[in-house]
Amino acid sequence: MSGRLLLVMGYVGVVLGTVGVCALAIEAIRPDVRLGAMAGGALLFLGGRMAILRGRKLILVSSPVAYPSRDDHRAPVLYLRSFQDDPLTARIPPTPRIQTEEEMLTNVLREVGPVTAIGRPGEPLPELGASRFYVSDAEWQQAVTDLLGRAVLVVARAGATDGLLWELEQIVSHVDPTRLVLLLPFQGDEYETFRARSAIFPHGLPEYFTIRAWARGELDGLSLYALVRFDEDWTPHLVKLDRELRGRLPWYWWSRQIPIETYLRLATRPVLDRLGLAAGEHPLQSRWLRRSAIMKSAFMVAVVGLLLTAIVVAVLAPDAGRAIHRWMTDRGWW
């Protein structure tokens, strides 16, 4: 089956699934039918999301991207990680957009340069996100070394495999520390274990940290907990991925959920600013984000105002309320 056909079927499944789940709120439908529609809708929705991801992978394979990119001649951004983390970063966080975690990270890094990574040997389809290239077991170390010398930025996802630890050693030996971003997919004791194993950094890594669940907010479905950036002398700085990252927001943000990509832009902004690679306006000053937040806040204020007005009229002027009800009923509006 072609990728485009699978993509269309996936979106149709998501739409029909949403309709089926919404049928639960229609009281005119029999309870047993409503429950069946809800169950079928949930299956269609989940199946549609899976079909969309697979369809996009098939489309990617049918028009492969050259190493590291045929159309983008900027210096590459190298993304390093343990292959065993690919299933984790290929999941879709609980957001309205059907994008994997790696895609969200790649969307941010692509503003700096084409994002490239070594593909997992034997995988039938590449994961969505960074452009993959494939090398043999005898060639991967030389490929990593070559890319480290050309990369404008190196982003490494912390892990426990020997291959990744070797890559971190090469980074310390060959890469300007200000060009490294270390992603931390764990906290607490797991982080301490990694910190003990990765004693290769000249000044070590920041001390033990944890993030309370309530502070994660919109980032609750993200596998990353923090990142580490470095000064010229390898002094590390921990940046937690939680709500404190966004700081104090204008009043109109109260009803707006900040996208995960915006948090990632906020976390990496100091590194890109220092290297002169930051593109565009500040993440929280994005015009469409502000406009969306203002419109949503205005809508919520209008709804609350109408509800309060109805309550006041019903309590303080019941006769007026009944007169309005009769007037609307006579015209068929009620």
Q: Are residues 247 and 152 in the same domain?
A: yes
Higher-confidence residue of 305 and 217: namely 305
Q: Are residues 212 and 146 in the same domain?
A: yes
Q: Are residues 199 and 121 in the same domain?
A: yes
211 burial (CB, 10 Å; 0-12 / 13-18 / 19+) is: middle
Give the separation between CA 225 and CA 100, rounded to whole angstroms: 16
Q: Are residues 36 and 155 in the same domain?
A: no
pLDDT value of residue 231: 93
Give the separation between CA 263 and CA 285, rounded to whole angstroms: 13
**Pair type for strands 226-230 and 236-240:** antiparallel
Range of the domain at 206: 64-283
What mean pLDDT do residues 56-64 have?
A: 67
Q: Are residues 59 and 69 in the same domain?
A: no
What mean pLDDT do residues 174-183 have?
A: 93
Q: Are residues 214 and 277 in the same domain?
A: yes
Task: Give the bridge partners for 132, in sequence order.
Answer: 117
With tokens 């502000």, the residue in question is 290
pLDDT value of residue 249: 57
Task: Specify the amino acid at residue 231.
Answer: D
Q: Read off the pTM.
A: 0.71
Q: Are residues 34 and 158 in the same domain?
A: no
Q: Are residues 207 and 312 in the same domain?
A: no
What DSSP element (H or E) covers 45?
helix 31-62
320 burial (CB, 10 Å; 0-12 / 13-18 / 19+) is: exposed
CATH number at residue 132: 3.40.50
Task: Return the structure tokens found at 289.
Answer: 């984000």
Peptide bond into 68 cis (omega under 30): yes
pLDDT interval class at 137 (50, 70, 90): confident
Q: Are residues 110 and 216 in the same domain?
A: yes
Task: Return the structure tokens found at 42.
Answer: 């949930």
Number of domains in the chain: 3
- Last residue within a domain, chosen from 245, 265, 283: 283
| Contact between 37 and 52 (Cβ < 8 Å) | no
Q: Are residues 110 and 226 in the same domain?
A: yes
Of 126-135, 155-164, 291-300, 309-318, which one has max mean pLDDT?
Answer: 155-164
pLDDT value of residue 88: 85
127 burial (CB, 10 Å; 0-12 / 13-18 / 19+) is: buried
Q: Are residues 58 and 70 in the same domain?
A: no
pLDDT value of residue 155: 94
Q: Are residues 255 and 274 in the same domain?
A: yes
